[in-house]
């Protein structure tokens, strides 16, 4: 049974069910109709006999008179017998030759020449004559014939009906299962790694199979997306590490082989030192991100003065060579419960970017506000801004918008904002941005005061 397909199983089950139901119906029909027809037939027999009880009289001149008595009526053959059992009048059914004893008001079932009969007798007193018997005989074949013809018809039509039923159910189930075969094929192709961009794409439909196909498609979307991100990430990391590594290699080779004096060696060491610093910075950021990815980071929650921390970070910002003016609107003593060092990293990153992507003599405005159970921080600059097509991507790892390539050189890694977003999410908060190219950007952080 396990080897059969679901289609076959359903068709078989349907077939067996049909056989059982039809057999039961036939059996029931035979049972009910047989007994109903038989009892009808017996009622006709007894009533026909009873109706003629008064049709027999005696006259001194003419003897027994029965002019009104019809000897064959409603399939009933009637005879008159003397009290001693001699037949006086009437007809027996053709081929009836059984010798049946008399029994008043009783219906007897008799078989003669393989034909079933019912026999009904009445003993009647005829005035001035004495007792006589009035007998009715009716053949039962009518009833048996009707039932057996039904069964015969059923016997021939049942296999045909059964075949139509099984085939019909097989094809309906096959049709209904067709999309599942398609889902199976697509999922197999994807799992064998042939093509990750393949989709089941059953289209719009309401039944369970369509819902299942759409759920699978959404899952494939997410899988493809995360595979792509993974690939991109590896490519980006390799790319970021390649430049400093080759610079370090070149400089150390130069220092070893070509440097003539200590000053030349020193300048090589200087370059190596800077590049190693950059690599170390990249590696420590990657480590942090990967710990966040693996949920290895545990938030060290404490209650602290968010207003004070923001003020402190602003004041500790190194003076920018772009002569950027910083203003702030921070209501005092807004307390939140969060990981203080991670939150200060958000503040540092947003302020650093607002500075880095600003213009000469630009400005930055920092605003803090309480909103119900949350606190919001906005960092607004009137710097170079971000193109609309890039806004969604700036939170991706290693993404640097076009503006960054021109505005900054060495220190831009494209990891700051992705970290800001992850920290915000870890705290149950969110970060959003509005920006216009050439006019400036506003980053808004929303954090719950308590997590």
* Cα(262)–Cα(255) distance, integer angstroms: 9
Interface with ligand ADP (CB under 6 A), residue from 334, 441, 445, 447:
441
By CB under 6 A, tell whether 347 contacts ligand ADP: no
The least distance separating ligand ADP from the CB of residue 240, rounded to whole angstroms, comes to 11
Contact region with ligand ADP (CB under 6 A), list: 90-98, 126-134, 237-245, 396-404: 396-404
The answer to whether the CB of 359 falls within 8 A of the CB of 383 is yes
Residue with Cβ nearer ligand ADP (354 or 366): 354
SS3 145: helix
Tokens of 77: 């053959």
Neighbours of 437 (CB within 10 A): 17
Name the residue among 278, 287, 317, 296 with its Cα closest to residue 411: 278
The answer to whether the CB of 169 falls within 8 A of the CB of 2 is no
The least distance separating ligand ADP from the CB of residue 385, rounded to whole angstroms, comes to 6
Tokens of 386: 């971000």
Residue with Cβ nearer ligand ADP (215 or 238): 238
Q: How far is CA 335 from CA 156, 354, 375, in A?
A: 89, 25, 9
| Proportion of the chain in helix, strand, coil states, percent, rounded to 5 | 50, 20, 25
SS3 28: helix
Contact region with ligand ADP (CB under 6 A), list: 158-166, 283-291, 332-340, 381-389: 381-389
Residue with Cβ nearer ligand ADP (253 or 410): 410
The answer to whether the CB of 291 falls within 8 A of the CB of 422 is no
Question: What crossing angle do the helices spanning 340-356 and 416-426 adopt, rounded to 10°?
Answer: 150
Name the residue among 408, 415, 411, 420 with its Cα closest to residue 445: 420
* Cα(51)–Cα(39) distance, integer angstroms: 18
Interface with ligand ADP (CB under 6 A), residue from 7, 199, 400, 449:
400
Residue with Cβ nearer ligand ADP (11 or 394): 394
Contact region with ligand ADP (CB under 6 A), list: 157-165, 283-291, 305-313, 348-356: 348-356
Contact region with ligand ADP (CB under 6 A), list: 54-62, 252-260, 288-296, 378-386: 378-386
By CB under 6 A, tell whether 383 contacts ligand ADP: yes
* Cα(143)–Cα(33) distance, integer angstroms: 8
Contact region with ligand ADP (CB under 6 A), list: 75-83, 136-144, 244-252, 383-391: 383-391
Residue position matching structure tokens 């017996």: 42
CA dihedral 352, 357, 359, 362 (to 10 degrees): -40
Residue with Cβ nearer ligand ADP (413 or 445): 413
Residue with Cβ nearer ligand ADP (200 or 391): 391
Residue with Cβ nearer ligand ADP (210 or 398): 398
* Cα(332)–Cα(312) distance, integer angstroms: 13
Tokens of 273: 């030192």
By CB under 6 A, tell whether 445 contacts ligand ADP: no
Residue with Cβ nearer ligand ADP (32 or 283): 283
* Cα(327)–Cα(380) distance, integer angstroms: 10
Residue with Cβ nearer ligand ADP (112 or 403): 403
By CB under 6 A, tell whether 364 contacts ligand ADP: no
**Binding mask of the shown chain, residues 145 to 174, with x at each position contacting ligand ADP by CB under 6 A:** ------------------------------
By CB under 6 A, tell whether 366 contacts ligand ADP: no
Contact region with ligand ADP (CB under 6 A), list: 60-68, 152-160, 340-348, 392-400: 392-400
* Cα(427)–Cα(447) distance, integer angstroms: 7
First to last CA, the chain: 56
The least distance separating ligand ADP from the CB of residue 243, rounded to whole angstroms, comes to 15
Residue with Cβ nearer ligand ADP (62 or 321): 321
The least distance separating ligand ADP from the CB of residue 207, rounded to whole angstroms, comes to 45
Residue position matching structure tokens 């999309």: 179
* Cα(446)–Cα(379) distance, integer angstroms: 12
By CB under 6 A, tell whether 403 contacts ligand ADP: yes
The least distance separating ligand ADP from the CB of residue 201, rounded to whole angstroms, comes to 35
* Cα(270)–Cα(273) distance, integer angstroms: 5
Task: Name the helix (H) or strand (E) containing 410.
Answer: none
By CB under 6 A, tell whether 354 contacts ligand ADP: yes
**Binding mask of the shown chain, residues 405 to 424, with x at each position contacting ligand ADP by CB under 6 A:** -------xxxxxxx------
The least distance separating ligand ADP from the CB of residue 250, rounded to whole angstroms, comes to 25
By CB under 6 A, tell whether 118 contacts ligand ADP: no
By CB under 6 A, tell whether 384 contacts ligand ADP: yes
- Site residues, ligand ADP (CB under 6 A): 349, 353-354, 357, 381, 383-386, 394, 399-401, 403-404, 412-418, 441
């Amino acid at each position: 049974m396990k080897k059969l397909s679901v289609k076959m199983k359903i068709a078989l089950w349907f077939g067996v069910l049909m056989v059982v139901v039809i057999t039961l119906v036939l059996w029931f029909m035979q049972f009910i109709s047989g007994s109903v027809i038989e009892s009808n037939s017996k009622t006709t027999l007894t009533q026909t006999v009873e109706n003629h009880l008064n049709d027999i009289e005696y006259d001194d001149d003419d003897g027994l008179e029965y002019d009104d008595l019809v000897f064959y009526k409603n399939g009933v053959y009637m005879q008159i017998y003397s009290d001693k059992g001699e037949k006086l009048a009437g007809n027996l059914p053709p081929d009836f030759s059984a010798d049946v004893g008399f029994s008043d008001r009783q219906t007897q079932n008799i078989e003669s020449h393989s034909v079933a009969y019912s026999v009904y007798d009445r003993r009647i007193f005829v005035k001035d004559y004495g007792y006589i018997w009035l007998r009715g005989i009716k053949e039962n074949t009518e009833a048996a014939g009707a039932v057996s013809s039904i069964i015969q018809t059923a016997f021939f039509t049942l296999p045909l009906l059964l075949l139509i039923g099984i085939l019909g159910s097989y094809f309906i189930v096959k049709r209904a299962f067709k999309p599942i075969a398609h889902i199976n094929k697509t999922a197999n192709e994807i799992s064998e790694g042939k093509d990750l961009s393949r989709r089941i794409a059953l289209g719009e439909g309401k039944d369970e199979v369509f819902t299942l196909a759409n759920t699978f498609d959404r899952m494939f979307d997410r899988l493809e997306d995360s595979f792509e991100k993974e690939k991109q990430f590896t490519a980006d990391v390799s790319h970021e590490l390649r430049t400093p590594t080759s610079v370090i290699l070149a400089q150390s080779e130069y220092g070893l082989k070509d440097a003539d004096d200590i000053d030349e060696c020193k300048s090589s060491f200087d370059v190596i030192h800077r590049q190693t610093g950059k690599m170390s910075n990249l590696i420590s950021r990657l480590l942090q991100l990967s710990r966040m990815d693996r949920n290895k980071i545990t938030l060290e929650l404490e209650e602290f003065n968010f207003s004070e921390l923001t003020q402190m970070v602003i004041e500790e910002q190194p003076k920018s060579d772009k002569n950027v003016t910083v203003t702030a609107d921070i209501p005092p003593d807004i307390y939140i419960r969060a990981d203080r060092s991670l939150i200060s990293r958000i503040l540092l990153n947003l302020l650093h970017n607002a500075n880095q992507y600003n213009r000469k003599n630009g400005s930055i405005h920092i605003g803090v506000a309480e909103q119900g159970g949350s606190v919001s921080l906005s960092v607004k600059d009137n710097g170079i801004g971000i193109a609309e097509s890039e806004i969604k991507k700036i939170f991706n790892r290693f993404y640097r918008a076009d503006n960054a390539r021109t505005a900054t050189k060495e220190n831009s890694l494209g990891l700051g904002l992705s970290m800001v977003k992850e920290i915000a999410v870890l705290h149950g908060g969110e970060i959003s941005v509005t920006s216009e190219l050439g006019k400036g950007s506003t980053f808004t952080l929303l954090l719950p005061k308590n997590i």
